[in-house]
Structure 1
Amino acid sequence: MVDPLAEVVTLLQPQALFSKVVVGAGAWRVRRSEFGQPFYCVVLEGTCCLAVNGHEPIHLQQGDFVLIPSAYGFAMTSLEPAPSDDVDTVPVARLHGEFRLGVQDGSADVLLLVGHCVFGSPDAALLVSLLPQLVHVRGEQRLATLVQLVGDESRALRPARDVILARLLEVLFIEALRASAETAAAPGLLRGLADERLAVAIRRMHESLEHPWTVAQLAKEAALSRSTFFERFSRAVGVAPMAYLLAWRMATAKRLLRRREGGVAEVAERVGYGSASAFSVAFARHVGQPPARYARAPMVAQQP
């Protein structure tokens, strides 16, 4: 059975290229507005608060993992209020790449591993739009095990530490998405997959991308009326069924063209087009250039 979430993550090509250990004590506040940079945070010890624009503040605790696939304005603070709402705390660099916030001496209140990742996919913006704006996972044993491994590795100075951390964080990223699939509240792929009826239709689209799907056929797969399926899908996923199908066909076509897995005619057939000319017109309209030219162009990793 095809796993749509696995396909999205595989196409995203997440890479944890930057991370740092942050220690906080006393009162502190750090605010960021780095639009488009995927942000993550692992709480290794202690507690703190995260406030993301458009969401209720979250009290983070040991073992929590937070992912903001396309980071916009957010603030991380101590539970103890900072002295002034207008002043941000300047992190102080310590030994071995560690940064300290707030009181510089004595025991710490919280130990974090924070950082930004990059998505290698040329379709990152599209794929990220299928994910929740905020992923917060707590109380998952598998995730807790990964967090412990990340914590152990981040504190050690063993050879290839950064390489191991990057791989662990990539697994953590995938596990967090999987763990949050059943509780996703915001529109997106995870919420669609949490709906048993919609999940059947989404999987069928991914399994048989070459099939000339219609809304009526997809509704039948989901055992829903056409109108009910259309409204339920659009509300859960955030886009209409055929818009989702088109986006996924184009994302898959890009991958096939980049990897030289067949000519334009073969790719057209594999993503559900009856002719190379029809596919070329649709691809050029969606991507901005013909498929043959796209296949020859150098690939550049994109931020969402």
Structure 2
Amino acid sequence: MVDPLTSVVTLLQPKMAYSKIVTGAGRWGVRGEFDHAPLFCCVVLEGKLRYTVDESQLVVEAGDFVLIPSMSKFSASSFEVPLEHEWQSQPALLENGEHRNGSLSADADVRTLVGFCHLTSPDSALLLTLLPKLVHIRGDLRLSALVQLVIDESRSQRPAKEVVLERLLEVLLIEALRSSNNAVTSPGLLRGLADIRLASALRRIHENPEEPWTVALLAKESAMSRSTFFERFSVALGITPMEYLLSWRMALARNFLDRKKTIAEVAALVGYSSSSTFTVAFTRHTGMPPGRYFKSRQNAGEGNSGMAIVAL
């Protein structure tokens, strides 16, 4: 049985690129915008603060974990909303290596560990459309244990501290994505997998993407009427069943092309009856024909694409 979440995470190829301790003191606010939206995660170690990410607002407190697969515009602030002149573009770097928002002389009343991930897959933008825009987890026992490990390591002075923190944050990422039962999420794959009936259809799509799936067939897999399935799927995932199927097939197609499979082979593997129909669908969805995509990947090499990291 193919696990849809494992499929997506495997293709995303997440790699923790950067992590740091960020503290806040007094009344403060920091805001900015990323040119290339990174995957962002945050563990709240002490205190509480407000986040506004792409117009979604939430209050987070000690023990919470926040995951934002694709963050562009953001703001973070003290629980008491700052005045306009108190907003910063980035925190100050302290002598101890921590980053500070607000007063530099006062004791910190909020402490967080934030991390940024590179998504090394060339399909990251496409795959991120399958994930929720925001995951906020509170009260999950397994995740709480991992968070405690992160807290202990962040306060230690043990050798290889930074390496251990990066690995722990990578594990937190995976655990957060599969802890959908205790997560407050926006529409996306996690919400769909939390619905037992929709999860059946999602597993079938990922197990057999080459099948000639229709809404009626997927509804049958979910033991629902066609109209009920269509509405329930669209609300939970934020896209229609056929849009999800197409996005997943195109992500797989690009992965197969990277592995040097022929266009005819790829077409068959992702459910197209001929190379020409696959080429039309691939071109419409990705903006270039599969042959040109393959050549562009060869010319670019197999190195990871760079990503700007902005202080938060």
Q: Give the 3 Å change call, closer, same or farther, for CA 86–106 of structure 1 in structure 2.
A: closer
CA distance in 2, matches of 1:65, 1:41: 6
Q: Are 2:225 and 1:225 equivalent residues in the alignment? A: yes
Q: What corresponds to 2:129 in structure 1? A: 129
CA distance in 2, matches of 1:86, 1:202: 48
Q: Are 2:268 and 1:269 equivalent residues in the alignment? A: yes
The CA deviation at 1:240 is 1.6
Q: What corresponds to 1:252 in structure 2? A: 252
Q: What corresponds to 2:310 in structure 1? A: none
Contact 2:50/2:57 (8 A) holds in 1: no
What are the Cα deviations for residues 220-248 of structure 1, in whole angstroms up to 9, with x where unaligned? 11111222222222222122211211110
Contact 2:257/2:266 (8 A) holds in 1: yes
Letter in 1 for 2:248: W
Moved more, 112-121 or 193-202: 112-121
Letter in 1 for 2:165: L
Paired residues for 1:65-144 under 5 Å: 65-82=65-82, 84-89=83-88, 91-144=91-144
Length-normalised TM-score, structure 2:
0.87
Q: Could you tell me which runs of 5 or more consecutive residues in structure 2 were left unpaired when the two chains were aligned.
A: 308-312
CA distance in 1, matches of 2:117, 2:48: 23
Contact 1:182/1:194 (8 A) holds in 2: no
What are the Cα deviations for residues 229-287 of structure 1, in whole angstroms up to 9, with x where unaligned? 22222222122211211110110111122123x33222222211222333233223322
Sequence identity (%): 55
Q: Give the 3 Å change call, closer, same or farther, for CA 81–294 of structure 1 in structure 2.
A: closer
Contact 1:21/1:98 (8 A) holds in 2: yes
The CA deviation at 1:101 is 2.6
Q: What corresponds to 1:285 in structure 2? A: 284
Q: What corresponds to 1:161 in structure 2? A: 161
CA distance in 2, matches of 1:105, 1:208: 59
CA distance in 1, matches of 2:144, 2:124: 28
The CA deviation at 1:156 is 3.5
CA distance in 1, matches of 2:101, 2:182: 35
CA distance in 1, matches of 2:277, 2:200: 28
CA distance in 2, matches of 1:182, 1:78: 25
Contact 1:39/1:71 (8 A) holds in 2: yes
Q: What corresponds to 1:199 in structure 2? A: 199
Q: Give the 3 Å change call, closer, same or farther, for CA 182–45 of structure 1 in structure 2.
A: closer
Q: Could you tell me which runs of 5 or more consecutive residues in structure 1 were left unpaired when the two chains were aligned.
A: none
Q: Are 2:52 and 1:51 equivalent residues in the alignment? A: yes
Contact 1:44/1:62 (8 A) holds in 2: yes
Length-normalised TM-score, structure 1:
0.89
Contact 1:19/1:116 (8 A) holds in 2: yes
Secondary structure (helix, strand or coil) at the match of 1:95 reads coil
Letter in 2 for 1:39: F
Moved more, 250-259 or 159-168: 159-168
Contact 1:120/1:302 (8 A) holds in 2: no
Contact 1:184/1:194 (8 A) holds in 2: no
CA distance in 1, matches of 2:234, 2:91: 43
Q: Are 2:20 and 1:38 equivalent residues in the alignment? A: no
The CA deviation at 1:21 is 0.8
Q: What corresponds to 1:214 in structure 2? A: 214
Letter in 2 for 1:44: L
